[in-house]
Amino acid sequence: MKKKILIGVVIIVISFIAIMAYRVLNSRPLSPVQTAVYNYQGIDMKVVYCSPFKKGRLLFGDVKDSPLVPNGKYWRLGANDATEVSFNKNIDFAGRPVNAGRYRMYAVPNHDSWNIRLNSELGKFGYNEPNYSLDVVTVDVPVETTSSELEQFTISFDTVDSSGVKMIFKWDRTLVRVPLMVQGNL
């Protein structure tokens, strides 16, 4: 009898692991890995993220409306793996100093602003919330609404002028710009 129970438990565990592996392996093509890169006069910035598609879903909003990304909740800024950002020089991240290095980047979206955070915990799967005590910087940036709809989530860089760069998050009709500047000047 104990042997049958043990075999049953082993089968359940193996089935669970197989289902999770299948979901992970099959979700990647649906949300391909993307890289946004900015290089200018010795400044290197890079973001690696998985880029999901809207597919007719409600993306942002209140929990009661069942959006894909509820307001006030952790979002890994993409799909699958945690989004990672790297800077080769010390920067001002929306006015807050950040040392050169690699960071996990995530957001807590709201209607009028997004709370963007950099965290020192790397190598984690994106579904898992970060260890919030390892947050390095937290900034609030305003949300803009665009006239055109974007099907696939994108992160990009845009040089504003000699005073800085903007890291841009776009999806659906939502646009968020994070001002970046190398400490000491661009």
d(CA 159, CA 50): 23
Cα 128 off chain centre by? 12
**Is the confidence at residue 142, as pLDDT, over 90?**
yes
Q: Is 83 left (phi over 0), alpha (psi -120 to 50) or beta?
A: beta
- The reported pLDDT for the residue numbered 135 is 97
The pTM of the full predicted model, rounded to 2 decimals, is: 0.81
Instruction: Give the mean pLDDT of 84-96.
Output: 95
- List strand residue ranges (DSSP E) for 23-120, in order: 33-40, 43-50, 60-61, 69-70, 83-87, 91-93, 96-98, 101-109, 113-119
Measuring CA to CA, how many Å separate 171 from each of 63, 77, 149? 19, 10, 7
d(CA 90, CA 137): 13
**Is the confidence at residue 114, as pLDDT, over 70?**
yes
Give the residue, 24 or 148, on which the prediction is more confident.
Answer: 148
Tokens 């841009």 locate to 168
Instruction: Give the mean pLDDT of 13-32.
Output: 75
Q: Which of these ranges, 9-23, 54-68, 142-156, 161-175, has the smallest mean pLDDT?
A: 9-23
Q: How confident is the model at residue 144 (pLDDT cuts 50, 70, 90)?
A: very high
Percentage of the chain surpassing pLDDT 90? Answer: 70
Q: Which two tokens stand for residue 170?
A: 């776009």
Q: How confident is the model at residue 186 (pLDDT cuts 50, 70, 90)?
A: very low
